[in-house]
Amino acid sequence: MNRLVNTISGRLSLRPPQRQSLEILDRICEIADPTKATDLATALGIIKSEYPSVTDFERDFPSLCFALATGVGKTRLMGAFISYLYLTKRSRHFFVLAPNLTIYNKLIADFTPGTPKYVFQGISEFVTAPPVIITGDNYESGVGVREEARRQMGLFRPGGEDAVHINVFNISKFNKDTGGRKGSPRMRRLSEYIGESYFDYLAGLDDLVVLMDEAHRYRADAGMKAINELKPILGLELTATPFTESAKGPVAFGNAIYAYSLAEAIVDGFVKEPAVATRKDFDASQLDDAKLERIKLEDGVRLHEQVKADLQAYAANTGRPYVKPFMLVIARDTTHASALIDLFKSETFFEGRYADRVIEVHSALKGEEKEETVERLLAVEDPAEQTEIVIHVNMLKEGWDVTNLYTIVPLRAANARTLIEQSIGRGLRLPYGKRVRKYGLPPTHPADRLTIVAHDKFQEIVDEANRGDSIIRRIDTIYIDPEEAADAPKPVEVPPLVEQILGGADRPTVPGLGPAPAGDPAQGTAPTLPTKKTPTFLTPTAKAVAKATLTAITKKTTLPSAKTLLQPEQQKKLVEEVKAQLPDQQELPGIESEIEEVVKQATEAYVDLSIDIPEVTVVPTGEVTIVYADFDLDTSKLPALQPVERDIYIQHLASHEQQQLSSGGGGVGYERRLEDHVVRALIDFDDVDYDGNADLLYKLAGQMVAHLQGYLPDEEAVKNVLVYYQSRIGNLVHGQMLAHRHELTTGYEVKVLSGHRPLQPSVIKLKPSESPRNFRAPVDDKRRIPQMVFGGFSKCLYPLQKFHSDSERRFAVLLEMDKAVQKWVKPARANFQIVLKGGSLYEPDFVVEADDAFYIAEVKAEGMVQEADVLAKAEAAAVWCRSATQEGAGAKPWHYLLIPADKIAENASLAWLAKQYEHKASAPAEVVSEDAGAKVLPFKKLEGTEIRPFENCVPLYADLRIAAGRFGEELAVDAVPQQGEVENPEDYEWVAYRGSSRPRRGLFVAQVVGESMNKRIPNGAWCVFNLEHGADGEGEIVLARHDEIHDGDLGQFTVKFYQREVLDDDGVRITLRPSSSDPQFKKPIVLENLAEGDLRIVAEFVEVLR
């Protein structure tokens, strides 16, 4: 394999189908190198010998089609093709064809350096010599040609004059551009700059390569003729539909060399999962068309509102940008579309909620109405734009590549195949570039799903999807309950009590937490706040000081304990910081003593309403032991294997040994015990250790033998099957073992950054009809407990909590009744960093502070307590507790409790449960820090012979302090060269890197300062960034640079979530969004009217080092 293919694939982060396409191009260039002198017939014969699907180039030059499904990344593949052909010195002139104006503008942006989705990001050769972009709008100026005409010394010379030239043209400009006059297109007219027409200039180039986006659009006679007359050395076609329509049906391309179907993209997770929705037991034939249409629209909106709530909760829980979903309605015609608009705007449809959130898109729109609609359509991905429903009449074609379409309601008559093929293509792109299931969400989480509402076509669509020639070959089904959908849960951010008390009225409203009565336990309603005494801040000044105190406290990231805040020196610092936040208050008489008193009261409240959860990170290291939980073999899934009827010879390919199996008795290979045949097959698997699993292996082997004896006629037949099918039997049993396979870690690395982390807001989902229930009241239908919300606590540090089971609810009752328990909480995701093998985070059920100890408690059903994955979590959490105790400098110890659910009773105490069910760590742990309050560098610096650049270490830019505020200081570091061998590596700083991936070029470590990203990146954290990021940055955290912002306070660099949208005037709006608990950093940075290169994505955030 060409090393260049590996390099380009890595730098551009190509997906497997993109890489396979590049590998094919590499092979084609090897066996049929494209030149002007290429003989068409000879080249076709050579290529066809290795790629039989290529039967005809279908052009007057070698042209090959790569058929990639929508959403997989055709534009990036074009970038990879151009990079390869340029870097192999085969071409530096490229002609990219777009089928319409939308794709034309998109391609220009994607090929232009400095733009957010720049396709060559990571190709260093294009940094020193950026590509020259020639378009249908600027080619007449002679850009890229004047210099070319002066070249006298061959094709490739060093320096900027060898920059790649990329021509981007709309097919209409290329084929029909006559400037309103009859005659030849402008491209074919004489140009004063070059002494010939630009078309002839291109046709005369010795290395022109044509790339055709949406290649099925260039098969008409005029288009084919014009492309042929360019006389390129090679054509590269990309499309998701490699066929043309004819009276006899679709005609496949004869030059399709590679195909990656939508069905494959769905299985591989590159696009959303398509689904079809209907109502349970629904008979559409019993309804007239108007009633059926109304039901489909209403159910579509219900699904839309459900996915909207799920996306809001996902964004709040992960810190990622919120993706606003919208629903697409396909109307029959323009008259129908107008009637639908009237319906959506009426008070009878969802109380008129969508009156201002719906637009119609069709060719009958004119003037200002059309301009406003197009503006809203182009901005539909912006969460701040209000459109949530788009009605269209066959007007949304290729190029409208939105990522936030989640619900489609087709109302135009069509068969099932047409509904699938024409409906889902526009909505399959993933908003985050990848599926979100890796964050621990269900495999079919709504963020990964596109749903078609088709009550009347439901079964037809399901059947069509299951056909062998379907474009998707699979589809999920969703059944809608109108009553449940109308009462779908909505996400609610629940701040901890300390934020409500000190933060004042700016906190979000939480249902059940208004000025309500204490509640009636008999009715299951919850009181609004705990009954313990808390300070009240009544005057405007006191409220402002309390709020400023909370803000100042949350910025202190290295406290060994919250109680440290009460020390005189800390109080003095807090008072000064509060004064700095409230300059207008300082002139009032007596204000200083009042500020000091309120700061003290607020601090005491903070300490009282906090748990000292240390910032301890536990990461598994060392070897992994594979264990299997006990289970019984499911013989109902086993085939009825039959004895061999005649002698069979087996030749072992490695040893060349022959073995004879005979249907008669005692043949070669019989074991002493029947079970030994099965055990021997199982221990051949690399992940099966005989010594550690012998009991289970013989148990399963005995069950397999008993299964065979149950249907075979005699012992000889059983022996025959065990010998002949030994390998297959081993695979069958091992396959069932995999479902019970678990990995145990033999060691952990522990890093301690501080002894206290503030509680973070949690996000719960609450039905509009659901009121918070009193946690003490028994629940009859225990299956509904995960959907319920509970309150009424006096010791919990959040006003509302959700429980996974009734046993968790009963444990909360136990904690509230136990006098030794001071406070407890079900922690939010951000409060712990306990990493399991594979990188997922463990989220404990409960954290409890008692008089003499802290506890992490997990409540499990009795049958689950000994499961391997439960024990793996317990071991990691116990290591965390042991480390937190060791680093606690005399504070109360931490213990991990794994409690069987049936042992929880109101007469039990936490201390008794702790004695019975504490899980103590057995695995060793390497502690990085011995001082819980110290500022610890979360990495090891390497020196001298230890340094192996990008093999065991990455560069450290210690002098680069990147701002997570607005824009930080100007970047001024001596950067490590990214190409070739690093000379004198000791001249730079290097750190050992054992993060989420191996060291590689492009990675570096730098410090991020500021509070605007503190939900994801703590102030002062050392982070890993990637210069050679392949993603376009959309929806990711990036290090961005703005050339025009460089004054003393703002500088040029910032770290933020990145979003980009194209405006109706072809301009671009860039939004850099914070993710912060500090109210000062809620406002995003919005940049418009950017000149080329003003804003550049320097690197992509990888991870925080801990």
pLDDT tens digit sequence for 684-730: 776 787 777 888 999 999 999 999 999 999 988 898 888 878 877 98
Cβ pair 168, 135 in contact under 8 A: yes
Nearest Cα neighbor of 65 from 252, 249, 263 is 252
Decide which of 1087 and 936 is more confident. Answer: 1087
List, in order, residues 6 or more apart from 455 with CB less than 8 Å away.
278, 279, 282, 284, 292, 295, 296, 299
Q: Tokens for 1034?
A: 């959309």
Decide which of 322 and 484 is more confident. Answer: 322
Band (pLDDT 50/70/90 cuts) for residue 207 is very high
Band (pLDDT 50/70/90 cuts) for residue 874 is confident
The answer, yes or no, to whether residue 783 has pLDDT greater than 80, is yes
What's the half-sphere exposure (Cβ side, CA atoms, 13 Å) at 958? 9
Q: Is the whole model's pTM more than 0.95, yes or no?
A: no
Q: How far apart are CA 1004 and CA 1009, in angstroms?
A: 16
pLDDT of residue 395: 54
pLDDT tens digit sequence for 959-1004: 666 766 544 444 445 678 777 778 888 888 888 876 656 788 888 9
SS3 string, 639-656, reads CCCCCCCCCEEEECCCCC
- 1038-1071 core/surface letters (b: 16 or more CB in 10 A; e: else): bbbbbeebeeeebbbbbbbbbbbbbeeeeebbbb
pLDDT of residue 913: 93
The answer, yes or no, to whether residue 787 has pLDDT greater than 80, is yes
The answer, yes or no, to whether residue 931 has pLDDT greater than 60, is no
Could you tell me the residue ranges of all domains in the chain? 3-260, 271-488, 495-608, 622-744, 765-927, 941-1104
Residues 765-927, CATH architecture = 3-Layer(aba) Sandwich (3.40)
Decide which of 919 and 509 is more confident. Answer: 919
- One of 3.40.50, 3.30.43, 3.30.70, 3.30.200 is the CATH number of 3-260, namely 3.40.50
The answer, yes or no, to whether residue 224 has pLDDT greater than 70, is yes
The answer, yes or no, to whether residue 23 has pLDDT greater than 60, is yes
The answer, yes or no, to whether residue 250 has pLDDT greater than 80, is no
Q: Which fold has domain 941-1104?
A: Umud Fragment, subunit A (2.10.109)
Q: How far apart are CA 442 and CA 476, in angstroms?
A: 14
pLDDT of residue 93: 93
- Strands 894-900, 854-860: pairing is parallel
pLDDT of residue 703: 93
pLDDT of residue 934: 38
List, in order, residues 6 or more apart from 159 with CB less than 8 Å away.
129
pLDDT of residue 563: 85
pLDDT of residue 346: 92
CATH code that applies to domain 271-488:
3.40.50.300
pLDDT tens digit sequence for 1011-1062: 788 777 877 788 888 886 544 556 678 888 775 554 333 346 788 888 877 6
Percent of the chain with pLDDT over 90: 17
pLDDT tens digit sequence for 833-856: 676 665 566 788 899 999 999 999
Compute the mean pLDDT over every residue in the chain, rounded to the nearest whole number: 77
pLDDT of residue 57: 92
Band (pLDDT 50/70/90 cuts) for residue 233 is very high
The answer, yes or no, to whether residue 1105 has pLDDT greater than 90, is no
Cβ pair 785, 514 in contact under 8 A: no
CATH topology agreement for domains 3-260 and 765-927:
no
pLDDT of residue 670: 59
pLDDT of residue 342: 93
Question: Which residue type, as a one-letter code, is found at position 500?
Answer: Q
pLDDT of residue 149: 45
Percent of the chain with pLDDT over 70: 74
pLDDT tens digit sequence for 194-204: 667 888 889 98
Q: If you average pLDDT over residues 449-476, what whole number do you get?
A: 64
What's the half-sphere exposure (Cβ side, CA atoms, 13 Å) at 85? 31
Q: If you average pLDDT over residues 482-493, what whole number do you get?
A: 70
The answer, yes or no, to whether residue 210 has pLDDT greater than 90, is yes
| Residues 351, 356, 360, 365, CA torsion sign | positive
pLDDT of residue 236: 95
Q: If you average pLDDT over residues 444-466, what whole number do you get?
A: 71
**Cα distances (Å, whole numbers) of residue 1028 to 81, 160, 299:** 18, 22, 45
